[in-house]
């Protein structure tokens, strides 16, 4: 099977609001997203399809066929719209990122010729995206940032072995990174709020358990978690996932960007 991805863009406005709730309750649950005048995003939609290679043409599906189906849907229903005021589906379902990607899946599945829809990723901004794969529930990923120093040094290895394996990262005084942390939850969007998990709750948990402990710290010297562990990013991502899992029942995975080149994942 060949997997092919196509990226499209659209802009839309929306507001998160439950009419049956008071203004105070809407503000408590949805925060700034409850502004009655709405807010907007420049969305990026990534469509991945899969299929068998046609030996005659050398392609799975013509990209123009993907564009024709997807662009017609996006341009007629979403682009330039105030979703919960103009779209029939989102008048009844809060247009969270999770609900939008769920709707797009239902609208696009089975519509592409000669291939199968495999994955949709909808990016609301750099720090938030939702995705749906075939035979899976919706996932939501929230990105966080912290800065920290560390020294890669294992007490189970000799000094010579540490220098050989870790090179300059074994510098006795340590070095540092701008870490970016991706926290992914998975589940069915709530029928009322449209969210897999309240983002305010997720932000609070990650801030309490991870950011406040590790931001602007030397992991080897300032944290209990890594006093006895070599804080490679392989270890750090595993430790963070194990810290979050008891407080986030819907946790699916944790991703850690050490640099733009180095990325690590650990599945809950």
Residues labelled catalytic: 169, 216, 258
Contacts of 61 (CB under 8 A, 6+ apart): 4, 49, 51, 112, 113, 114, 115
Instruction: Return the structure tokens found at 84.
Output: 């919960």
Instruction: Return the structure tokens found at 117.
Output: 């829809």
Look-up of token digits 């899946």: 105
- HEC readout, the chain: CEEEEEEEEEEEEECCCCCCCCHHHHHHHHHHHHCCCCEEEEEEEEEEEEECCCCCCCCCCCHHHHHHHHHHHHHHHCCCEEHHHHCHHHHHCCCCHHHHHHHHHHHHCCCCCCCEEEEEEEEEECCEEEEEECCCCEEEEEEEEEEEEECCCCCCCCHHHHHHHHHHHHCCCCEEEEEEEEEEEEECCCCCCCCCCCHHHHHHHHHHHHHHHHCCEEHHHHCCCCCCCCCCHHHHHHHHHHHHCCCCCCEEEEEEECCCCCEEEEEC
């Amino acid at each position: 099977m060949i997997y092919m991805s196509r990226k499209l863009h659209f802009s839309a406005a929306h507001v998160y609001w439950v009419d049956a709730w008071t203004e105070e309750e809407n503000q408590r649950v949805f925060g700034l997203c409850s502004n009655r005048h709405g807010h907007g995003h420049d969305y990026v939609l990534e469509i991945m399809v899969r299929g068998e290679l046609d030996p005659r043409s050398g392609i799975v599906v013509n990209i123009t066929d993907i564009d024709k189906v997807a662009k017609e849907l996006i341009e007629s229903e979403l682009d330039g719209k105030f979703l919960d005021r103009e779209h029939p589906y989102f008048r009844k379902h809060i247009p969270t990122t999770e609900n939008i990607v769920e709707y797009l899946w239902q609208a696009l599945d089975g519509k592409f010729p000669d291939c199968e829809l495999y994955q949709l990723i909808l990016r609301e901004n750099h720090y938030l995206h939702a995705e749906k794969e075939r035979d899976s529930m919706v996932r939501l990923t929230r990105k966080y940032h912290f800065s920290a120093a560390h020294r890669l040094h294992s007490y189970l290895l000799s000094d010579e072995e540490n220098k050989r394996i870790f090179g300059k990262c074994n510098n006795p005084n340590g070095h540092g990174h701008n870490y970016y942390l991706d926290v992914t939850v998975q589940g069915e969007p709530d029928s009322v709020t449209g969210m897999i998990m309240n983002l305010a709750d997720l932000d609070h948990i990650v801030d309490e358990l991870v950011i406040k402990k590790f931001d602007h710290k030397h992991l080897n010297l300032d944290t209990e978690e890594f006093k006895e562990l070599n804080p490679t990013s392989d270890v750090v991502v595993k430790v963070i996932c194990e810290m979050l899992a008891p407080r986030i029942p819907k946790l699916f995975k944790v991703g850690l960007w050490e640099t733009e080149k180095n990325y690590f994942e650990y599945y809950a």
